[in-house]
Each structure stands twice: as C-alpha cells, then as structure tokens.
C-alpha cells in the first residue's frame, strides 16, 4: 500500500501551551493551558488499554472521504495491526476517528479506534467503540467492538494518532464557555495554523466534554446507492443528533496540509451512557466545559491516499 512520510514541525510543549493559551481566548471565556503529567488513561472515564499518549508520536491518515462518496469503494478495508507496521511503530497505541469495519460488521458505522496493536512482546488489545443506526427504530447504539468481534479492522478512512502509549508530559487544555464560532478542535487547529503558518504542526490525544451537549452525526448502516456529490446531499444522507456530556473524544488535527489531501481535523467520541459518534460542535456555548490532553506528533504518514479526490464531506 502506498505510504508517504512527512516530518511535522514539533515545538516545545511550553511554547505550544503559551500559543494555545493566547489563541483559545478568542473563542472561550475561560482558558487554562499548561504542561502536566498525562493522567492515567487506563482510569475512568478514558478506560484506554495504555496509560498515556507519549513516545514516538505519529499521525496516520488512511484512505479518505473519496472512498465513501460519491459511491462507496468496498475494496478499501484496512487492519490496524498492519497500519502500525506501516508507520514503523508495531505495538503502537492508536486512537482517532474513522469508518467502522463493514467487512466484519456487515454494515456501515462510525468507528472510535482505541487500539494497542500487536508487538513481539504483547498481544493486541482492541478497546474501540462503534456507533450505528438501529434499523428497528431509527435510534442509535454504541457498542464496545471486542464484545462480539476479535479482528482489528477498519475501513474507507481513518485519522489516527499513534504513540508508544507511555506516560509523560502532555498539554492540558481547560476551556469553558464558548464565546466564538469555532468548535473546540477547530479553535486549537486554527490557533496553531495562525502561529506556525507554513510549518505544519500535528496533534492528537483525548478530551472530555464535561458539561453541555454536542451536535453529532452517525452514518446510515447502508451505503448510499445514489451518488453523493455535495455537502448538501451528504447532510441529507447522514443522521444528526444532540448528545450529552460526559463524552470522551478522540481528536486528531493538523494545522496545515503539507500537500497530502489531508482531512485537517476529525474527532469521534464515545461515552459510558450509550452515546457516541462524530463530533461537530457544542450546542451549549454558555455552559460547555472541555478538559483535554494533547501531544504533538513527530511524523505524518499518509497511507493509501485517494488518487481522485474532491472537497466535500470533510466537515
């Protein structure tokens, strides 16, 4: 599979904290950004299979929206253990956002990858979730993937933040009461873009929506049989919901595309109360509270980049 490698600009954590503190103030009433020890992510509410998001950090973008639309390309199936080898980090801990493995599930879904991949020393652990539309009543369901399935598949597209899963220093971001138009991730991404300009910075990690509600989408279980050719057509096809805190989000974002047709941000989330999906923005600016932990990525890997592309379906 085609795989391109790129080195991100990697500022120091203290510089990043300073830049983000200043930038996020344009969009949130209360902002506190600092460098801290990563909390133990094996604990609630994260319940990840590893303690941290540090060590040999990478962002991998696999496939892309052009494999889902205008019409689905069912050849585009992937394996997270193989992806870990492609990004030269077998055993990597990966989190992020993508499409669920229809090749296993038999239907389309939103995927929240949380995987410690296989290494010489350890068997792989799949802590992923997926959410999908319940055909019986049109509602949605969130399930832990390894309850019924034992593979490490994903499909069509994935934005992944990979690391050794080690404890270590990370950037903590607390933001309360949204005063601007940007969602939490876009606010961080644009802050980095404004400051670092042509030097792309990539970040990933996890944040909790502690209070408030968010607008989310879940794709239908069936791929569209008629071609989807615009954001308007896609929005008619998708199912939108409002989901409530606490939500555990898995953001991956890049300040500037160095020329690999990247999706600049992609965030999926799960919860312990049955809600999960693709994060758009909070719908409760006056009461929303975010708490996040982020690490900058050293490398970008672009895997199986679509040759024919378009601009829609990236929201």
Q: Which residues contact 258 (CB under 8 A, 6 or more apart)?
A: 6, 200, 300
Nearer to Zn ion by Cβ, of 52 and 101: the residue is: 101
Q: Is 43 exposed, middle or buried (0-12, 13-18, 19+ CB in 10 A)?
A: exposed
Contact 266, 259 (CB under 8 A): no
Nearer to Zn ion by Cβ, of 176 and 278: the residue is: 278
Distance CA 118, CA 91 (A): 5
Q: Which residues contact 43 (CB under 8 A, 6 or more apart)?
A: none
**Size of site (CB under 5 A) for Zn ion:** 2
The answer to whether 263 contacts Zn ion (rule: CB under 5 A) is: no
- 258: helix, strand or coil: coil
Angle between helices 184-196 and 13-24 (to 10 degrees): 120
Nearer to Zn ion by Cβ, of 19 and 72: the residue is: 72
Binding mask 112-131 for Zn ion (x = CB under 5 A): --------------------
Report the site for Zn ion in 173-232 (rule: CB under 5 A). none
Distance CA 84, CA 257 (A): 22
Contact 189, 265 (CB under 8 A): yes
What single-letter DSSP state applies at residue 54? B
Q: Which strand (E) or helix (H) includes residue 175?
A: strand 169-178
Nearer to Zn ion by Cβ, of 76 and 278: the residue is: 278
Helices then strands (H, E): number in the chain?
Answer: 5, 20
Nearer to Zn ion by Cβ, of 100 and 127: the residue is: 100
Q: Provide, rounded to whole angstroms, the least separation between the CB of residue 17 and Zn ion.
A: 28
Nearer to Zn ion by Cβ, of 164 and 304: the residue is: 304
Q: Provide, rounded to whole angstroms, the least separation between the CB of residue 310 and Zn ion.
A: 17
Nearer to Zn ion by Cβ, of 13 and 60: the residue is: 60
Considering only the stretches 46-54, 78-86, 101-109, 274-282, report the one whose residues sit in contact with Zn ion under the rule CB under 5 A: 274-282
Binding mask 78-107 for Zn ion (x = CB under 5 A): -------------------x----------
The answer to whether 278 contacts Zn ion (rule: CB under 5 A) is: yes
Q: Provide, rounded to whole angstroms, the least separation between the CB of residue 4 and Zn ion.
A: 22
Contact 164, 55 (CB under 8 A): yes
Q: Provide, rounded to whole angstroms, the least separation between the CB of residue 240 and Zn ion.
A: 13
In angstroms, the Cα distances linking 91 to 85, 87, 128 are: 8, 11, 16
Q: Provide, rounded to whole angstroms, the least separation between the CB of residue 276 and Zn ion.
A: 11
Nearer to Zn ion by Cβ, of 51 and 217: the residue is: 217
Q: Provide, rounded to whole angstroms, the least separation between the CB of residue 266 and Zn ion.
A: 6
Q: Provide, rounded to whole angstroms, the least separation between the CB of residue 151 and Zn ion.
A: 21
Residue of minimal CB distance from Zn ion?
A: 278
115-152: buried (b, 16+ CB within 10 Å) or exposed (e) per residue? bbbbbeeeebbbbbbbbbbeeeeeebebbbbeeebeeb
Binding mask 153-182 for Zn ion (x = CB under 5 A): ------------------------------
Distance CA 139, CA 201 (A): 38
Report the site for Zn ion in 24-43 (rule: CB under 5 A). none
Q: Provide, rounded to whole angstroms, the least separation between the CB of residue 281 and Zn ion.
A: 13
Tell me which residues touch Zn ion (CB under 5 A): 97, 278
């Amino acid at each position: 599979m085609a795989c391109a490698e790129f080195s991100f600009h990697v500022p120091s954590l203290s510089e990043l904290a300073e830049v983000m503190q200043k930038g996020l103030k344009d969009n949130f009433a209360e902002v506190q950004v600092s460098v801290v020890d990563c909390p133990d992510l094996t604990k609630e509410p994260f319940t990840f299979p590893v303690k941290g998001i540090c060590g040999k950090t990478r962002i991998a973008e696999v496939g892309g929206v052009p494999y889902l639309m205008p019409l689905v390309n069912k050849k585009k199936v992937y394996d997270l253990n193989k992806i870990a080898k492609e990004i030269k980090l077998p055993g990597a801990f990966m989190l992020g956002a993508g499409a669920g493995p229809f090749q296993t599930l038999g239907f389309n879904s939103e995927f929240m990858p949380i995987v410690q991949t296989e290494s010489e020393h350890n068997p792989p652990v799949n802590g992923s979730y997926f959410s999908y539309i319940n055909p019986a009543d049109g509602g949605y369901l969130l399930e832990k993937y390894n309850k019924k399935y034992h593979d490490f598949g994903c499909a069509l597209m994935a934005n992944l933040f990979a690391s050794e899963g080690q404890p270590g220093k990370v950037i903590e971001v607390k933001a309360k009461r949204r005063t601007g138009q940007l969602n939490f991730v876009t606010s961080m991404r644009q802050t980095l873009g404004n400051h670092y300009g042509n030097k792309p910075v990539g970040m990933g990690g996890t944040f909790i929506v502690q209070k408030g509600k968010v607008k989310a989408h879940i794709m239908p279980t069936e791929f569209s049989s008629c071609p989807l050719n615009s954001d308007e057509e896609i929005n008619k096809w998708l199912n939108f919901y409002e989901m409530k805190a606490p939500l555990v989000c898995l953001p991956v974002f890049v300040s500037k595309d160095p020329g690999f047709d990247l999706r600049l941000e992609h965030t999926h989330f799960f919860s312990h109360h049955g809600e999960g999906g693709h994060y758009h923005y909070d719908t409760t600016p006056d009461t929303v509270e975010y708490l996040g932990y982020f690490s900058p990525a050293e490398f970008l890997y672009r895997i199986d980049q679509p040759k024919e592309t378009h601009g829609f379906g990236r929201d």
